[in-house]
């Protein structure tokens, strides 16, 4: 496991922030049908989504709110 430290400033501004790190063993290949099927399945739910719908999508909404909170706090310094 790789330790990740979050600054006290960030914890204060965004107390619910969660940070993670993924590692993987990969094989570089020219093309992989199975991978492309997974990518297509993962992106299918976003096709046809309007900008307004995307803004309301919980992970995007949370990220935007966190950015605004951090940016607002940074301006006060």
Q: Rounded to whole angstroms, how far apart are CA atoms 69 and 64?
A: 9
Cβ contacts of 74 within 8 Å, gap of 6 or more: none
pLDDT digits (tens, 9 = 90+) for 30-46: 999 999 999 999 899 88
What is the Cα–Cα distance from 48 to 50, expressed in whole angstroms?
A: 6
Compute the average pLDDT of residues 50-73. Answer: 90
- Predicted pLDDT at 39: 94
- State the pTM of this model: 0.59
SS3 31: coil
Label residue 7 by pLDDT band (50, 70, 90). confident
61 Cβ contact list (under 8 Å, min separation 6) = 55
Per-residue model confidence as pLDDT tens digits over 57-68: 998 998 898 889
Alpha helix segments (H runs only) across 1-77? 8-13, 33-44, 51-56, 58-75
């Amino acid at each position: 496991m790789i330790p990740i430290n979050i600054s006290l400033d960030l914890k204060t501004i965004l107390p619910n922030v969660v940070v993670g790190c993924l590692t993987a063993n990969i094989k570089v290949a020219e093309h992989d049908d199975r991978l492309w099927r997974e990518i297509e399945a993962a992106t299918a739910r976003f096709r046809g989504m309007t900008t307004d719908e995307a803004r309301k999508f919980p992970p995007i909404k949370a990220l935007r709110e966190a950015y605004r909170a951090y940016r607002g706090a940074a301006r006060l310094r």
